[in-house]
């Protein structure tokens, strides 16, 4: 199935049901107007691989949920990202998060790489005027896909010394979730493994990492919440 058909199928499945509602636990999901705008009219989406790009990032897994693919075109003379194209397999929040991220990177003529690397999931969520708690992991994937594309550009242009967080320990190797991601989830209020999973999906790609996740959650919960 082509990514365009996947996108159409996801869009149809989301619009067949109310875009605001409740999950099976009875928790209410409310999507902002900004999320709806980027879901129904996604910006910089492409159905085909761009012909001209010099950075590619791919994160997530369709077997575990959302997957995002990002292509960037960097001007080597100015270090500015001049183009940002993407595809995603996922829900309304995943589509909206990637769409708004592309807008953020390209507005005002494009961001310099160092500035783009400072974009956080919180920045994306703010631009979307919020996301339901159970959908925050979608903005985390957007942040990771962009960083992966930039790192790919660094590798292709022999700038390995600029690769972001290359020394950070990867906990879930299937979804490329790091210890830093777990720490950030706890800093934002998660106090249990289940709450960290709701924010990051850690362990859904690689269940064997869950004992280590449990230890990290306990450590950071004591550090930030006691």
Which residue among 6, 64, 91, 117 is the active-site one? 64
Cα 158 to Cα 19: distance, rounded to the nearest angstrom: 45
Q: How would residue 6 be classed by pLDDT, with cut points 50, 70 and 90?
A: very low
Chain-centre distance for alpha carbon 224: 24
**pLDDT at site 11:** 44
Mean pLDDT of 171-195: 90
Cα 91 to Cα 99: distance, rounded to the nearest angstrom: 12
Most confident of 11-15, 59-63, 143-147: 143-147
DSSP for 65-133, written as a single string = S-EEEEEEEEETTTTEEEEEEEEEES-HHHHHHHHHHHHHHHGGG--BHHHHTT--HHHHHHHTT---G
**pLDDT at site 165:** 66
Provide the token pair at 151. 């790192």
Which residues of the chain are in CATH 1.10.10.1100 domains?
A: 167-226
Whether the per-residue pLDDT at 89 is higher than 70: the answer is yes
Q: How would residue 29 be classed by pLDDT, with cut points 50, 70 and 90?
A: low
C-alpha torsion sign, points 119, 127, 69, 64: positive
Whether the per-residue pLDDT at 164 is higher than 90: the answer is no
Q: Tell me if residue 138 is catalytic.
A: yes
CATH code given to domain 3-166: 3.90.1010.10
How much is the mean pLDDT over the chain?
A: 83
CA-wise closest residue to 199 among 113, 127, 125: 125
Q: Residue 72, class by beta-carbon neighbours within 10 Å (0-12 exposed, 13-18 middle, 19+ buried)? A: buried
Q: How would residue 115 be classed by pLDDT, with cut points 50, 70 and 90?
A: very high
CA-wise closest residue to 198 among 5, 65, 15, 53: 65
Place of tokens 């979730």: 177
Whether the pTM exceeds 0.75: the reply is: no
Which residue among 106, 113, 138, 140 is the active-site one? 138
Task: Choose which CATH entry (3.40.1390.10, 1.10.760.10, 1.10.10.1100, 3.30.565.10) describes domain 167-226.
Answer: 1.10.10.1100
Q: Tell me if residue 91 is catalytic.
A: no
Which residues of the chain are in CATH 3.90.1010.10 domains?
A: 3-166
Of 9-23, 76-90, 125-139, 169-183, the range with the lowest mean pLDDT is 9-23
Mean pLDDT of 49-76: 87
């Amino acid at each position: 199935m082509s990514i365009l058909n996947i996108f159409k199928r996801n869009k149809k499945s989301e619009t067949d049901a109310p875009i605001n509602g409740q999950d099976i636990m009875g928790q209410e999901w409310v999507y902002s107007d900004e999320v709806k705008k980027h879901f129904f009219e996604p910006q910089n989406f492409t159905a085909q691989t761009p012909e001209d790009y010099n950075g590619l990032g791919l994160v997530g897994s369709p077997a575990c949920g959302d997957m995002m693919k990002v292509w960037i075109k960097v001007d080597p003379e100015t270090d500015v990202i001049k183009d940002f194209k993407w595809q995603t397999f996922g829900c309304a929040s995943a589509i909206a998060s990637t769409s708004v991220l592309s807008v953020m990177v390209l507005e005002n003529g494009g961001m310099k790489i160092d500035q783009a690397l400072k974009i956080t999931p919180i920045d994306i969520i703010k631009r979307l005027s919020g996301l339901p708690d159970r959908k925050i992991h979608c903005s985390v994937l957007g942040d990771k896909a962009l960083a992966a594309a930039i790192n790919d550009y660094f590798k292709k242009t022999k700038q390995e010394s600029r690769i972001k967080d290359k020394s950070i320990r990867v906990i879930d190797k299937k979804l490329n979730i790091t210890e830093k991601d777990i720490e950030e989830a706890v800093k934002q209020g998660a106090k249990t493994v289940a709450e960290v999973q709701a924010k990051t999906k850690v362990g859904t790609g690689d269940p064997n990492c869950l004992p280590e996740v449990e230890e990290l959650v306990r450590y950071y919960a004591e550090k930030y919440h006691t």
